[in-house]
Amino acid sequence: MSAELPRETDNAFLGKSVKGGSHEPTYAGALSFMRRRYSRDLTGIDLAVWGIPFDASVSNRPGARFGPQGVRRASAIFDGDPQYPFEMDPFEVLACVDYGDCVFDYGRNADIPGHIQSQASDILASGAHLFSIGGDHFVTYPLLKAHVAKHGPLALVQFDAHQDTWNDEGDRIDHGTFTGRAVREGLIDPDRSIQIGIRTHAPETCGLEIIHGYEMDELGIGGVTDRIKARVGNGPAYMTFDIDCLDPAFAPGTGTPVSGGLSSREALSVLRGLGSLNFVGGDVVEVAPAYDHADITSIAGASVALTYIGLLAEKRKQAG
C-alpha cells in the first residue's frame, strides 16, 4: 500500500474551492495565475485575473503578447504561502479565478479595442474586481473605457518610463498615446492623476503630475507615496504598471527599456503604501518574456500583481 500523497496537482482545473492556496509543486501542474481555478463563472467571485495577449501597437520590440503566459508561469513560485509583506494568503480572503485570455482575431486589429472593452465590461458587470495582464500598454485604453462606464472618470496612477501622451488622430492603435487620448476623452481626471518613474520626454503632460525617475532618491519611498495619495485623493482610481518603469537591470524583458528606472524593491514598496486608495481596477503590461533572463521580468510582473491583490485583500480583511 503506497503512502498517501501529501499534495495535489492541477488546481487550475481540479481545485475544490476558489479560495486558498493549492500547495502543489511549483515546477509541475497546469499553470494559471497563482494556480487559481480557470473559470468563466463569476458567480460569487471577488476578483478576476485576465490576460490580454496583444502587442500589435508597439513602437520598438514586440513580444508582450506572451506576457500573460510569462506572468502566470512566474507566479507559480509564490503559490500556497503567506504573501510578503502582507503576512497572509490573499486568496483566503478573496474569491479569485483566472478568467483566461481575451478573445480576438489577430488579423483584424481595428476590431480588437472593442473586443477588449466589451469583454472587460462583461467581467465588471458581474461585480468582480478586474486585474488584467498585458499585452502592450495600448490595452489600458479600452480597459479604462470599460471601467469608466461603470465608475465614471478615474484617477490614473501610472508607473512607467514613458508619459504615453503622444498625439494621434483618435483612431490609431499605439501604446504611446493612450494616456493623452484618455485625458482628451474625459476618461481620466488629469488633476487627480500621476505618473511615477518617467524617464523620457513627450510633447505635453496633459495636466498629469509627474514624478521623474531621478526624483526617487530625492523623495524616498515615503515621499513618493505621499505625493501619490495627495494627488489621487479618495475618489475611484485605476492603477496601470508598465514594467519598463523598472530599470532594465530589474526588467530586461520588455519592449522599450530605459535606463535609470526604479528597482523592484522601490516600486513594490511604493505600491505597498497605496492601500488607502480606492482602486477599482488595475493592470500590469509590457512584459515580453523573449527578452527576459531567468524570468526576472515575469517575476517582477507577478509580484506587482500580487502586491496589488494584497492591497485589495488587506482592505477587505480590515473591513471585516
Residues at the binding site for Mn(2+) are 137, 160, 162, 164, 242, 244
* Peptide linkage before 135 cis (omega within 30 of 0): yes
Q: What torsion, rounded to 10 degrees, do the Cα atoms 134, 138, 140, 144 define?
A: -150
Give the separation between CA 155 and CA 74, rounded to whole angstroms: 30
- Residue 132, classed as helix, strand or coil, is strand
C-alpha cell at 113: 479595442
Decide if 314 contacts 164 (C-beta within 8 A).
Answer: no
Cα dihedral sign for 274, 233, 136, 309? Answer: positive
Annotated binding-site positions: 137, 160, 162, 164, 242, 244
Give the separation between CA 202 and CA 191, rounded to whole angstroms: 18
Side-chain half-sphere CA neighbours of 192 within 13 A: 19
Give the separation between CA 213 and CA 218, rounded to whole angstroms: 10
